[in-house]
């Protein structure tokens, strides 16, 4: 901001100097015959004054616009939070609880309340490795997928991680924050899965749908335990449900009727998230967060409504009755073969 004030003061000085030049530059002074100084002005006095006023007005207007352009500030953005996660992902393909993770993910993020561009970001790991987290947007991220936890931990070891972000749109322009990744992961002690898997394979989009999952057995080493439930439409590439539960004892959620579209492919996910929200600090006093998630995905496609058995029998009976009425309402000769 200092450079803007310098530009403003310099432009103001230029305005004052220009004002002085406009006033004096249009007047010529000489010694008169009576010993007095007189003003020699080309043309009538009133016409010169009009020319001076117009010239002064044009210059001052132009300089005023320069001042406005020079003192225009860049919209500020603020870091709202930053975190680092290890996540284990499972795929549910039957009513049974998944036995082993399909893959693991290391993920580090910086969140802002407004988009920025032309930024420099970095994640510095305990083994002195550096990873870029992007140059623009509202979320700066570095992530990498692994087949197992051992490979993840070997690449991203326990210790202190330093996040850094430099950009003109944040104040101060250079900020950092740290988090500490523990040597022992504190994942939940239970793997999430959908307990009504079979019924979720026959969802009627015109009716409300209940998604149920097993109990979250929390890890005593985790200061905070939370549940996240989401549904993503693979067909339209849109998130249609995104629900957070501060209470880790929650075991179900009802999705309203009309949320799903017949024939679209969906992915439902439930996260058992174990977190430490006070493992570091930085970015103007924000606490860093470290977490370990277990997440299970399940695919489904809504189907057309199937009439109930009672309704089918009723429709069949009504049809037979209507056919009988039609037959006996015909003239007698029409019902007899000749």
pLDDT given for residue 63 in this prediction: 54
pTM: 0.72
| Bridge partners, 274 (sequence order) | 225, 292
What is the pLDDT confidence band of residue 304, given thresholds at 50, 70 and 90?
confident
pLDDT given for residue 58 in this prediction: 56
Cα separation, 52 vs 134, whole angstroms = 55
32 to 28, 35, 39, 154: CA distances (angstroms): 12, 5, 9, 96
Interval 66-110: pLDDT, tens: 555 554 455 589 999 999 999 999 999 999 999 999 999 999 999
* Model confidence at 335: pLDDT above 60: no
**Which of 9-13, 21-25, 68-72, 263-267 is predicted least confidently?**
21-25
pLDDT, the chain, mean: 81
Cα separation, 270 vs 212, whole angstroms = 10
At residue 44, what are phi and psi to the nearest 5 degrees? -75, 155
Interval 152-205: pLDDT, tens: 999 999 999 999 999 999 999 999 999 999 999 999 999 999 999 999 999 999
More confidently predicted of 7 and 224: 224
What is the pLDDT confidence band of residue 2, given thresholds at 50, 70 and 90?
very low
Cα separation, 140 vs 120, whole angstroms = 10
pLDDT given for residue 61 in this prediction: 56
Does domain 79-300 fall under CATH 2.60.40.10? My reply is: yes
Is the CB of residue 316 less than 8 Å from the CB of residue 278?
no
Structure-token pair, residue 46: 């009133």
Interval 125-154: pLDDT, tens: 999 999 999 999 999 999 999 999 999 999
CA dihedral 27, 33, 35, 37 (to 10 degrees): -10
Is the CB of residue 39 less than 8 Å from the CB of residue 28?
yes
Q: How much of the chain, in percent, has pLDDT values that exceed 90?
A: 67
What is the pLDDT confidence band of residue 219, given thresholds at 50, 70 and 90?
very high
Task: Give the residue extent of every domain in the chain.
Answer: 2-70, 79-300
């Amino acid at each position: 901001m200092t450079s803007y004030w310098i530009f403003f003061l310099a432009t103001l000085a230029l305005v004052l100097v220009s004002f002085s030049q406009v006033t004096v530059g249009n007047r010529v002074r000489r010694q008169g015959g009576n010993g007095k100084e007189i003003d020699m002005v080309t043309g009538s006095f009133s016409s010169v004054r009009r020319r001076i006023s117009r010239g002064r007005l044009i210059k001052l207007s132009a300089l005023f616009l320069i001042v406005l352009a020079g003192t225009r500030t860049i919209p500020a953005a603020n870091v709202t939070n930053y975190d680092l996660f290890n996540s284990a992902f499972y795929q549910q393909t039957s009513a049974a609880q998944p036995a082993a993770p399909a893959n693991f993910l290391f993920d580090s993020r910086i969140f802002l309340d407004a988009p920025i561009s032309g930024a420099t970001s970095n994640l510095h790991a305990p083994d002195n490795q550096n990873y870029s987290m992007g140059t623009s947007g509202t979320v700066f991220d570095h992530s990498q997928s692994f087949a197992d936890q051992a490979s993840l931990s070997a690449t991203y070891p326990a210790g202190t991680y330093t996040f850094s972000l430099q950009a003109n749109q944040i104040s101060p322009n250079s900020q950092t924050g740290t988090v500490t990744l523990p040597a022992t992961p504190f994942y939940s002690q239970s793997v999430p899965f959908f307990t009504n898997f079979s019924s979720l394979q026959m969802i009627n989009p015109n009716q409300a749908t209940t998604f149920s999952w097993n109990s979250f057995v929390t890890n005593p080493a985790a200061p905070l335990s939370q549940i996240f439930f989401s549904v993503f439409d693979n067909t339209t590439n849109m998130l249609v449900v995104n629900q957070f539960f501060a209470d880790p004892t929650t075991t179900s959620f009802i999705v309203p009727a009309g949320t799903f579209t017949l024939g679209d492919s969906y992915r439902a996910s439930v996260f058992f998230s174990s977190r430490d929200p006070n493992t570091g600090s930085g970015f103007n006093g924000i606490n860093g967060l470290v977490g370990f998630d277990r997440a299970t995905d399940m695919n489904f496609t809504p189907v057309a409504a199937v009439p109930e058995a009672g309704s089918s029998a009723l429709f069949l009976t009504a049809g037979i009755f209507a056919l009988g009425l039609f037959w006996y309402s015909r003239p007698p000769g029409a019902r007899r073969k000749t």
